[in-house]
Amino acid sequence: MKYLCILLMLMSSFFVSKADNKIRIIPDSTNQFAMFEISRNHASQYKISFANEKGKVLHKSVAYIHDKPTIISISWKDFSPGFYYLTGSNKKETFKLLFVKKK
């Protein structure tokens, strides 16, 4: 019974580790880019938009995301300090990230 539990734990961790649905914000020490890394189990095309805190869209693009991490970088060197929202969406999901640009 003990070995069966260990085997089940190993099998379940194998399947969990296969999931590549990840999104992470990448820090930029130069404060010139808003960057994030995304990967998805099921490849899909995403509409990417970057808006200020008032909802004004400042950048639009399309990215094809798959299981290997894709880095998306948006130049914001000319933007004022404040809050910005990055939204990505396809037919099945939408994600939204908050970026803060400091002085």
Give the pLDDT confidence score for residue 63 in this predicted structure: 95
* Cα distances (angstroms) measured from residue 17 to each of 14, 27, 53, 70: 5, 25, 36, 18
Could you read off the pLDDT of 75-86 as tens digits, one per residue?
999 999 999 999
**Which helix (H) or strand (E) element contains residue 97?**
strand 94-101
pTM above 0.85, yes or no: no
pLDDT band at 94 (very low <50, low <70, confident <90, very high): very high
Which residues 6+ apart lie within 8 Å of 45 measured at CB? Answer: 62, 63, 64, 65, 90
In the predicted model, what is the mean pLDDT of residues 52-56?
A: 95
> Is 3's pLDDT higher than 60?
no
Sheet (strand 33-39) strand order: 22-26, 33-39, 70-75
